[in-house]
A and B are shown apart, each in its own frame.
Chain A
Amino acid sequence: MYKFILPLRFLLKRRITYLAVVAVALCVFVALVVMTVLSGLTAQFKQKAHNFAGDCIVSGKSLLGFDGYESFIDILRQQPYVRSVTPVIRTSALAKAHTPVGETNEVPREIIGLDPNTFFNVTGLATSLSWHSRDPENAFVVQYDPQLPGCMSGIGILVDRDEQGEYHLPRQTPLVSFEVTVLPLTARGSPAKAATDLVNTKTFWLSDTVNSGLARVDWSTIYLPFDQAQVLCGMNLQPRRTTALHIRFGEGVETEAGCGHVAKLWSNYLSQQASPSDLMRQVRVQSWRLYQREMIAAVETEQRMMSVIIALLGVITVFIVFVVFYMIVSHKSKDIGILKSLGASAVDVTTMFLNFGLLVGALGSALGAIAGWQFLVHINDLEALMLRWFHFQLWNRRLYAINEIPNSIYGEVLLAIVASAILASVLGALAPSIRGARKPPMQSLTVNRL
């Protein structure tokens, strides 16, 4: 029983212990705040990337795409694990915007050709539309003249974010058109219009904007109807081609397992073809993570680096607890001597101090976690205040595609931090505890020591 009562007594009576508690609390606070924000940003980014691409992507190796996709879509639609599938064309283009006040310079743009009837079932972008979020299948219908060929643009092409990170769009679709120029390619990769002027150019009128939350996408992408993009890219000639198929799996289907099924399905499909083209042989089946690995790897690396630095905090905590316990054990040598002379073993004394370390770790973690939680709850209000008073923002919303600072605490992050803090406290207490426990009672209870 004394193994539990004494640690509690030490904690209440020895004021130096508060220091160890404060140190643990501070470390937990810093680790919780930094890791929550960073994990939140990473998770947000991944969620946006997942929303944008769907679960699985079947894609060609180059801009040439691949043929035979229509029959494969039919096969995919029959699979119970596939909820929806959509063909997508991606290419590079030059585009020039025409507005009522004039025209802009020609700039390079990414083009995505999509079928609105299926694309929004695969991706999570329907709610990000500005004017057709309730009827995304009509996303290419131009409000003021439905006969005009419509297009969507990344929202950043049209308007800039304000300092709160908001885009302000008019209620009605503005009178903006984009003159899009694409270099169509044959299935062999050579320019399809080599005999003439090489390019296909067509004007599309803005029907909506897409706010994917991915800066690189929202500031450079123009979305065209799939069939129009196919014509512009020269992919409409038999056999028709697409750049990729994006797939959304049904509820409960694990992404990697689903991708494995699709890969096998494609392999079977390929073997059934009498003479599959080279483009079909080059097709890859990838999960959304693998497909966008370069983008995702960058944010994951930053998170990993920060985790390593936060781990240094744990090391400092170990040392602080070590020093505090060293002092306590030194001062309590007489108590240890008495305990041991009453029959307590070295293991009992060690256990007692380790319990004390555990208590310090638990209390410090609890205080740090509560402080961190409160700070995170108010982090956006604090940032708003700093913006109002000092014109300071942690991340400039005009430049970074971040809305609110993420402040939802992840259970696993909290658990890992608290467990690490308690472990660090116990580790820090270990050496002084063993040193104290090994001291013979005779040494600490001799008259000249009293």
Chain B
Amino acid sequence: MLKLFLWLRYMRKARIVLLSVAAVAVSAALIIVVASLFRGFIRNVERHSGATLGDVCISADWGSPIPRYDELIEDLERLPSVKAAAPAIMGVGLVHLGSGNVQQVTVIGIDPEKETHVTNLVQSLRRGGAASGPALFTAVQTEGAIPAWIGIRAVAEPDQVTDTYDFVEVDSFIGKQAVLITGSATAGDLSTATGRPTIRQKSLRLEIQGVVHSRHFLNDQNLYVPIAELQKIVYPQDAQPVAARIKIRLAQGADLEAARKSIAAVWRDFSTRTLNWPVAKQAWISIVTSQEMYADYFAELHRQMGVLIVIFGVVSSVGVLLIFCIFYMIVMAKSRDIGIIKSFGASRLSIALVFLGFSACVGLVGSLCGVGLGWLVTSNINSIEGVISHLFGWKIWRSSVYIFEQMPSELDWASICWIVPAAILACLLGVIIPAWVAAKTKPVEILRYE
């Protein structure tokens, strides 16, 4: 009871303690903001890969494409764990968008109707003012052209200062003609080992029907065309529909690992019975979760986050010294109180616990203030960044560097769970010596008249 009373009293009366509370709060807030930004960035990448690739992907990137994919999709959609599946074909190309404007693009053949149920592509589509109804490729105005959606970065550059697009300029591309140059397999050139064709160039006339603004810098350079049209170029030998990837969205609450196993079983059955593929050929197909596709990248991001937190931890450790100084000062100032308490029979341990408990209170209050400060900064990080850009003219966060247009602004509670105890521990560490000094104090020396 006496200890609690003294903690509260020191907390209220010793104003210098506020300095240590502030030091703990600033250090905790700093690490919370850094951890939240980094973790938010990683989470955004994960979310985005899930939103663009589905939860699980059957990938034929390194082998023959998957024929009769519509039948496979039907089989997959019968699984209770699968909500929907969509096919895709990939290629690369150069697109001529107007006078002197040639851009490198990744060309993706899609089925918009199926895509709607698996990815968020359709939600990020700008179709111009007149468009209504479901986002599908519509009939073209120019004979011989094929409909296309193009990534925003292919048609416009974000402003140097604000990092935002001029949407009037962006929308002006809708309805325009473009020319795509992409690789095409030539008849009779199909190679044997992996089934890869020899590539020759082919041009396609496009009609831009929409601009994709996914807010992901890398994906905003893609060009989307109907899968059937792209198949005619990339895999002209295949009369039946083929896909290089099947993107799968799982049903709400489905277990990822269990779903992957069922998908693998369906694929094995389909490739053996329907396609008659030998086991060696099946091995070219991989079934991975969207997270596994970028596992190396995520691992590197986590490592960099660790390095950064260690650096900030070292920076914050200077705060331990400050706490040591402040508590040493308090112990010196309160030596008479200590003498009196000891003369009433308090043990050394009790005296030490007064200061240790007091520092734990400082750590708790400081770290809670730090959480509040961290939350305030993190949740308003984009506004703060905007003010800095406005005042100093330099943009901290650019989509061309950090992929996303907005800084992550979610507080990372997982980090808070270890930062708060770490802050309290740091405070206890800083107060060990002052507490020991206080415990060793002899009342007879302190309280004598001379």
Contacts and interface: CB of A to CB of B under 8 A. Distances in A.
A384 interface: no
Interface in B313-346: 314-315, 317-319, 321-322, 324-326, 328-329, 332-333
Contacts, number: 143
A323 B100 contact: no
B311 interface: yes
Contact of B201 (A23, A201, A298, A396): A201
Interface size class of A (residues with CB under 8 A): 35 or more
Contact of A313 (B160, B318, B400): B318
Interface stretch (B73-81, B91-99, B212-220): B91-99
Contact of B96 (A108, A188, A191, A330): A191
A312 B30 contact: yes
A94 B315 contact: no
A16 B437 CA distance: 13
A312 B26 contact: yes
Nearest to B297: A399
B104 A92 contact: yes
A57 interface: no
A124 to B, nearest CB: 25
A301 B96 contact: no
Given A34-B311, A96-B199, A189-B101, A320 B400 contact: no
Interface stretch (B255-263, B266-274, B390-398): B390-398
B16 interface: yes
B392 to A, nearest CB: 9
Interface string B18-42: 0100010010001000000000000
A331 B16 CA distance: 17
Contact of A108 (B92, B324, B400): B92
Nearest to B104: A108
Contact of A183 (B94, B326, B396): B94
Contacts of B445: none
Interface in A286-305: 293-294, 297-298, 301, 304-305
A107 B94 CA distance: 10
B51 interface: no
A381 B222 CA distance: 44
A243 B53 CA distance: 38
A316 B23 contact: yes
A297 B30 contact: no
A316 B100 contact: no
Given A23-B318, A106-B92, A183-B94, A189 B100 contact: yes
A319 B328 contact: no
Nearest to B204: A198
A364 to B, nearest CB: 11
Interface string B188-226: 000000001011011100000000000000000000000
Interface string A1-21: 000000000000000100110
Contacts of B16: 323, 326
A94 B181 contact: yes
B321 A30 contact: no
B329 to A, nearest CB: 5
B102 A399 contact: no
Contacts of A305: 396
Contacts of A317: 318
Contact of B100 (A181, A185, A197, A313): A185
Contacts of A363: none
A63 B102 contact: yes
Nearest to A93: B94
Contacts of A107: 92
Interface in B83-109: 92-94, 96, 98-105
Interface in A225-254: none
B19 A319 contact: yes
Contacts of B125: none
B329 A327 contact: yes
Nearest to B182: A94
Contacts of B103: 92
Given A26-B318, A94-B92, A301 B102 contact: no
Nearest to B199: A106
21 contacts: A16-B325, A23-B321, A23-B325, A62-B100, A63-B100, A94-B181, A106-B92, A106-B183, A107-B92, A108-B92, A108-B105, A181-B181, A182-B94, A183-B181, A190-B99, A301-B394, A309-B312, A323-B16, A327-B328, A330-B332, A396-B300
Interface of A: 16, 19-20, 22-23, 26-27, 30, 34, 61-64, 91-94, 96, 103, 105-108, 181-183, 185, 188-191, 197-199, 201, 293-294, 297-298, 301, 304-305, 309-310, 312-313, 316-317, 319-320, 323-324, 326-327, 330-331, 394, 396, 399
Given A94-B93, A327-B325, 6 more contacts: A61-B100, A92-B103, A293-B160, A309-B312, A310-B315, A319-B19
By Cβ-Cβ distance, the 8 closest A-B pairs, closest first, are A189-B99, A62-B100, A108-B104, A189-B100, A64-B100, A323-B325, A298-B401, A198-B203
Interface of B: 16, 19, 23, 26, 30, 92-94, 96, 98-105, 160, 179, 181-183, 196, 198-199, 201-203, 300, 303, 307, 311-312, 314-315, 317-319, 321-322, 324-326, 328-329, 332-333, 394-396, 398, 400-401
